[in-house]
Structure 1
Amino acid sequence: MSTLRIAVIGCGSIAKNRHLPEYQNNSNVEIVAVCDRVEERASEAAALYEATAYTKYEQLLAEETIDAVSVCLPNYLHAPVSIAALNAGCHVLCEKPMATSREEADQMIEAARKNDKKLMIGHNQRFVPSHQKAKQLIEQGELGKIYSFRTTFGHGGPEGWSADGARSWFFKKDQAFIGAMGDLGVHKADLLRYLLNEEFTDVAGFIETSAKENADVDDNAVLILKSENGIVGTLAASWAYTAKEDNSTIIYGENATLRLEDHPDYSLVAQYTNGEVVHYELGGIQSNDEGGQTNTNVIDHFVESILQDQDPLINGEEGKKSLEVILAAIESTKKEV
């Protein structure tokens, strides 16, 4: 089995805590180059992983022989850098949200198709054990008809996680495009599509900036969603859950209710209408609270997709559909005027 030559573009927190260590732990990978416009950040990562440091991604793509690239940059750079890497002949794993518009997402998908390269979007929620078990139970018909859901993803905000703290690009509209919805909500949109195996046809959003004084993007958002078969529910994304992170999802069905990441001890609880309760211990969800050194399985899946020449689970089309839920929420707020 050949070793993949990898470059990571953007050496902030998501690269430092997820991409780089997970590549390092994959025996089929060699980290060849890293890039960050902050030279100190690039040099630090290069020294740690014995890679070559760059401050310009264009130079990296031109000078290095690379099989695949992780794009770990501010949201507004996801599309242009991913497209440049695809056009340079690299497979691309891009952080979420994949782009800032449908047009950008389409351009990324076309670049991957034209160059016959893999494009994967880093939606890690699909790989969480409780989420995979819940999908299995739903597909087996354990819940019967699904009526409703509620899902939430919230923490105290990027200042506790981002490499630049309170000065982070996450708070700047020209770089982030959207706030908590892009950081957290799009993950849950992707998860719901995965669990329910349905697309959302109606989306309404309530989007506020109420918790962060230094932000011109949303920090609290609640979406009301309706699927093609009439399943209705809510999705909340927040940077104002200051006491404890919440990453829970509840699915309400005809025969049972599934509680995902909602119990302190059990990652999945199935409550049946006949009174039976089943507790599953499946391992916890990755969390920013614990320093984040858990394996998300995103990198391993990306690497396997390349080596096995298989379409990744979250390809460009899937990433676009999850992005479209968030874009529809923004559009719904403009219709109210």
Structure 2
Amino acid sequence: MLKYFFTLLLAFSAAWGPVARAESVLFLSPGGTNENFWVSYAQFMRAAADDLGIDLQVLYSDRMPELTLAQARQALQGPHRPDYLIFVNEQYVAPQILRLAQGSGVKLFMVNATLTDNQKSLLGERPDLLGSLVTNDEEGGYLMLKELIRQHPPAAPGQVIELLAFSGLKITPSAHLREQGMYRALAEHPEVRLRQLVYSGWIRQRAYEQARMLFQRYPKVTLVWSANDEMAFGAMQAYSEVGGVPGKDALFSAVNNSPLALQAKVDGRLSVLVGGHFTLGGWALVEVHDHELGVDLSRHGGRDRMIALLQVIDQTQAKRLLAMKTSTDYQVDFRRLSAKGRPASYRYPFSMLTLMH
């Protein structure tokens, strides 16, 4: 009887073929579990993974590149290797990760910050590097300051509008690009004077401590540009403590779609909010899953792509995004975005419009 059962089981297996196995993906997040952006980023990836049937694991490194590299080493050279590794060139760790991946059999995909031109020339072509998705960071920094200036009353004759700027880390590509965008907008508005730009490391407490001194040093500042929401909140706290009202006495801006930032936009405390790039990891999973299905990614917009996700978010959009964050699937059918079986003219519709259909 037992022999008959095993014969039947073998026949059944042969008829149906091997059981499909979900591809495993490890995402190395450069942030921490206390950072709203990287938490929402992972949540969107989780929604995509659940929809696509991907086995997703996320590891955080709390802004410590040495921890990112230790995680990469374990994943790429340890006994339990993922099929795909998704990572960020935060603090320019990509060359070390690519060296660790050599011969590992793990396929690589980069998000948010990809290889610099100098790194590309040194590293050359890597067949295991499937591609990358980044966003329009330079344009995001530009749009943010342009909108701040648009909302500000015109400068009186012979007067200037004073600006403070809070950036992330000097060795973070996204911070550098957002600063470039800010300087491009400044060049178009000679009536705006940048009093000082400081590096707050993306951290609220550090921005708060810096802002306490800066608002005393520059009491006439009425525009505050911040490269993320955490630093904006630190600066807003310091401004409130010296008697100012954010959104009234000075206009503040931020990047990100955290619930706190969205609520601050709805309430009017944040005058300008730019966001949308928390979706990059989820969109990357669509491409990774397509590669697993045999799709040639280069046929549908190129292996390395920049998506204009960063855009100015108004109060109505902020309310819609706030409501959406209570849903675990973001009301996006990720499977329908696949390029599988589509003509070469098909382009992945990765945008805020897809999210807010």
- What interval of TM-score do these two structures reach, taking the shorter chain for normalisation? 0.3 to 0.5
Structure with the higher helix share, 1 or 2: 2
Structure with the higher strand share, 1 or 2: 1
- Of the two, which has the highest radius of gyration? 2
